[in-house]
């Protein structure tokens, strides 16, 4: 069986910084309100020349460099974004062109802020199935172009940026260990851009009615964000045969610091094992976890063999949890003989269920033998 190792990571954020202080001059708000309610101090805003493609290309080049891979070796590019340059074609095709990844297949994946974790899951499956060797997964967003800068409910939250990872086929157990994806479309109106799609195509009326801007029901999203992702994270850990204590680092979607704190409290993970950069970038939607993962790696917070839990949620409403093993731990005899490693090998060989049943039968047989011997010796 092949595994999808995260072999490279990169990020790009625009240079232009928009601080809470500057926002105070644009809408009726304050640095104190924004920071205490969201944890955000500033965010990055793309300039007029920057696009989702240009940001993605910069992040991808950095990721390819870390992986030591040439773009011509890429088999597939998945771009998690809801703000591509064009409705048609996919941003992934433009990224493919600019990277010079001639033989890569390319498609966009729209799953709101969960887009990068969705992409990581899909990309990993192309590798574990043996279809591809090298997959590039990007999370990129230029939300600033869809913001009503008079709407204090939304304009204080979002920022622009891109992150990328290179997945490479590996024989050692690494990369995605378990995942859980989902969606509750019934609540799609909690976060959406009503105009510009095929239902309300772009026209002056759509523009005048503000239908090209993000509309958000913050309260509804908040309730969703502090509950569903927790259940999803727990399910994912369970299917990986791990507990929250085995997680070295939780990287949640950087939506709101209060949401992050609530998730951590419910999951029972201390803040020291949670990666947060919302103060610098705000909510960068599909880019948020990709950028955070890259910064965590750059800051040396991940060692080979560490388990990282990625937790995305957002427009859709979607959710995506991914339990990732970082790098490949050095193989020592004690590690190979540990119950966890043995369980993992059995799991990979598809023999875990059989082994568990065999173990249970053996235990039952030993118990019966003990009882029989005990009662015979008592009777004697």
Q: How far is the CB of 57 from ligand UT7 (least distance, A)?
A: 24
Q: Which residue lies nearer to ligand UT7 by CB, 99 or 190?
A: 190
Residue 219 sits in the site that holds ligand UT7 (CB under 6 A): yes
State in angstroms the smallest separation of the CB of 242 from ligand UT7. Answer: 26
CA distances from 363 to 107, 258, 345, 354 (A): 51, 47, 21, 14
Which residue from 283, 302, 310, 322 is in contact with ligand UT7, where contact means CB under 6 A? Answer: 283
Q: Which is nearer to ligand UT7, 152 or 273 (CB)?
A: 152
- Binding-site residue total for ligand UT7 (CB under 6 A)? 19
Q: Has 113 been annotated as catalytic?
A: yes
Inter-CA distances, 134 with 54, 68, 129, 145, 171, Å: 21, 12, 12, 32, 14
- Both structure tokens of 336: 């190979």
110 near ligand UT7, judged by CB under 6 A? no
The tokens describing 208, both together, are 């005048």
CB atoms within 10 A of CB 156: 26
Stretch that binds ligand UT7, among 141-149, 220-228, 296-304, 319-327 (CB under 6 A): 220-228
180/58 Cα distance (integer angstroms): 29
Among residues 20, 134, 180, 283, which one is catalytic? 283
- Residue 192 within binding range of ligand UT7, rule CB under 6 A: no
Reply yes or no on whether 347 is catalytic: no
The reply on whether position 113 binds ligand UT7 by CB under 6 A is yes
Residue in the block written with tokens 């192309």: 126
Check residue 20 for interaction with ligand UT7 (CB under 6 A): no
CB 46 within 8 A of CB 282: no
Provide CB contacts within 8 A for 190, sequence distance 6+: 216, 217, 220, 221, 224, 315, 317
Q: Which residues bind ligand UT7 (CB under 6 A)?
A: 29, 33, 37-38, 113, 152-153, 156, 191, 216, 218-219, 221-222, 225, 255-256, 283, 314
């Amino acid at each position: 069986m092949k595994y999808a190792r995260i072999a490279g990571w990169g990020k790009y954020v625009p240079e232009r910084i928009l601080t809470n202080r500057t926002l105070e001059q644009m809408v009726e708000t304050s640095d104190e309100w924004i920071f205490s309610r969201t944890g955000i101090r500033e965010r990055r805003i793309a300039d007029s020349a920057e696009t989702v493609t240009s940001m993605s290309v910069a992040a991808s080049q950095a990721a390819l460099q870390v992986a030591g891979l040439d773009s011509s070796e890429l088999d597939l590019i998945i771009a998690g974004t809801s703000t591509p340059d064009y409705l048609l074609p996919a941003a992934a095709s433009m990224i493919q062109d600019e990277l010079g990844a001639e033989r890569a297949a390319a498609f966009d994946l729209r799953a709101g802020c969960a887009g990068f974790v969705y992409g990581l899951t899909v990309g990993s499956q192309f590798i574990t199935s043996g279809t591809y060797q090298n997959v590039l997964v990007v999370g990129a967003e230029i939300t600033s172009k869809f913001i009503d800068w008079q709407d204090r409910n939304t304009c204080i939250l979002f920022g622009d940026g891109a992150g990328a990872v290179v997945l490479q086929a590996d024989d050692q157990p690494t990369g995605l260990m378990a995942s859980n994806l989902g969606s509750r479309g019934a609540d799609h109106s909690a976060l959406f851009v009503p105009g510009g799609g095929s239902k309300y195509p772009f026209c002056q009326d759509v523009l005048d009615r503000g239908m090209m801007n993000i509309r958000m029901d913050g309260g509804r999203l908040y309730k969703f964000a502090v509950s569903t992702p927790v259940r999803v994270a727990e399910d994912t850990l369970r299917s990986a045969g791990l507990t929250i204590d085995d997680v070295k680092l939780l990287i949640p979607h950087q939506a709101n610091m209060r949401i992050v704190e609530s998730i951590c409290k419910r999951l029972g993970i201390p803040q020291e094992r949670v990666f947060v950069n919302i103060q610098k970038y705000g909510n960068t939607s599909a880019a948020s976890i990709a950028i955070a993962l890259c910064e965590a790696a750059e800051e040396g917070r991940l060692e080979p063999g560490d388990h990282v839990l990625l937790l995305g949620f957002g427009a859709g409403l979607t959710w995506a949890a991914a339990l990732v093993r970082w790098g490949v731990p050095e193989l020592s005899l004690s590690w190979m003989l540990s119950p966890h490693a043995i369980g993992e090998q059995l799991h990979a060989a598809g023999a875990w269920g059989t082994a568990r049943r065999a173990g249970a039968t053996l235990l039952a047989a030993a118990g019966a033998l003990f009882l029989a011997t005990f009662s015979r010796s008592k009777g004697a």
